[in-house]
Structure 1
Amino acid sequence: MNKRVLITGAAGFLGSHLCDKFIKEGYEVIAMDNLITGDLKNIAHLFKNEFFEFHHHDITKFVHVPGKVDYILHFASPASPIDYLKIPIQTLKVGSLGTHNLLGLAKEKNARILIASTSEVYGDPLVHPQTEEYYGNVNTIGPRGVYDEAKRFQESITMAYHRFHGIETRIARIFNTYGPRMRLNDGRVIPAFIGQALRGEDLTVFGDGLQTRSFCYVDDQIRGLYNLLLSDYSLPVNIGNPNEITILDFAKEVIKLTGTTQKIVFEPLPKDDPLQRQPDISKAKEILNWEPEVSRAEGMKLTYNYFKNLSKEDLQKSEHKDFSKHIK
């Protein structure tokens, strides 16, 4: 009998790629999403698969899944500033109540659970690069605190369930990830730059552009998450690409990639926006035998081609497809 995996946030960017991965590996996939930020188009190609089912559900409410569940991957959360600043209460609830509900389900089903944490638990770091032992520099009452603290609480309650109830838990601290199925309008750096380039707009850089990010292609990220789930390690693990670049230099790379002639314009830096972001992936290398394989040049070419092919649909209003018959 195939093993069954529950993936929350399954219609989102990373969630949908995880659905693909586990179907490919021979699992039965139970996908769950309330579709606040997810899009059924991301998983529509799986609807006819006999080993895939979709449940339209808000995990901040009680979560019931009939039958056995071997693994749970908790990826239900707004992940972009545009989303979590627009729905701050829901962001806090999915990280707290939602995580609590899924840990309860893991306890009931005797399932292993992996939660998607984030590099944002490090805040605007005073340690560089960031190791898992660094506790972070986070503004609990700032506008970004609704996301940062939801994820920090998520880690705390997960470790509490691990220590008190003996639940098998895994914690992935995910650094900036990109690739197909990101939303052009989600406010994150790569889709924002590519969207501006496709619309013929100048590229907006916040602050002086000297803040850094480290971008991991989605295929590498999914491989790291899969390895982590199947590992025996219960403490947090950074999963990201340590190849660091300034936002200003990255904007120049996007202009070169897209062959556009836009200028770079500067806007004030948002409050609490981290000035440095680079993962130390020593643990991932040692414990998971994992490191990124896709170069930024290769990954960005794949990502740009994806957005370019979808641009007419995504940059304009498109006909809505009815997926309601697939919702359970």
Structure 2
Amino acid sequence: MQRNSQDGALEILASSTLNSIQDQGRRHSLTLGVSVGGAMDRFALSAGNALIGNDLSLAGIEVVFFPFRLKFHADTVFALTGADTGANLDGSPIPAWWAVPARAGQVLSLGAPRVGARAYIAVTGGIDVPVVLGSRATDQKGGFGGIGGRGLQRGDRLPLGAPTLGSITGNPKAFPQAGLGAAIQWPEVRADAHTTVRVLPAAEWDRFAPEVQEQFLSVPWQVSADANRVGYRLSGPELVALCQDSLMSHGIVPGTIQVPSSGQPIVQLADANTCGGYPKIATVIEADQRLLAQTRVGGQVRFVLATRAQAQAALRAQHDDLLALSRALGTVTA
């Protein structure tokens, strides 16, 4: 791994092992039995990288347990995206979806989210930890990536990579002191309101009677306390398949909604298992998986059917939004 003058530029002052270094994950390692992993809200991390002129693939910090604090030991520029945490830099408030310069010695603090569940911190040059299987993402289940495959701890010192050539963030003094941000249009995800998530019928959709399919789509499902980066178990009415025969274990991907014998759906997420034998009733479209990632325990979710064309269009729209953001800032990195 190439090191530079930004070694140990970030010091973790307060954290939890649930917070971790993430990037866009290991999409090409599923055949090895390795989870895709990466940021639960990939769009948020990508937008943070775009705001500061980084390549969109660079690693940042995913924060899901608060309060979180870090200290800068070098002048740099960083962006905050995802959940609105009422963040501040040395006591000065920073809006969500915003980028600002930081000076050596300053402290960034994130509090409990007011909207959403996961916040992302992108820093000029990205977090420069070793690449494992094509990614810097932390896989705590496998024990690799990030910092030794574990979450962030107090006292960790994180190195930064070299700034993108020609990027304004390569010179923090040239970056607007007031910072700059992006007007990201995404629904507020709150515990007191349901989030609408689009799905496609999965392989075993027809194993469920029409009235069970309708039930799956018509009731609000609550995110139970059994929720983590692997998946969310949802609470609601019992879904019963027409055929109770067990299936041979088969491949699954993030977004897959399985129905175990309890009848309570399980949505596989970023660190999803790569195979399983429960019937699959539906699959959350890739563009909407971030909405689940930003739904807190106790929050409610409703599912609506989408077409393949709609799923593809939603993903293209997110890519176009990132490209437009990069172009608007003169840092085309998508």
Q: Give me the TM-score of the superposition, normalised by structure 1.
A: 0.25
Q: Which entry has the higher C-alpha Rg, 1 or 2?
A: 2
Of structures 1 and 2, the one with the larger relative CO (CA 8 A, separation 6+) is 2
More strand by percentage: 2
> With structure 2 as the length reference, what TM-score do the two structures score?
0.25
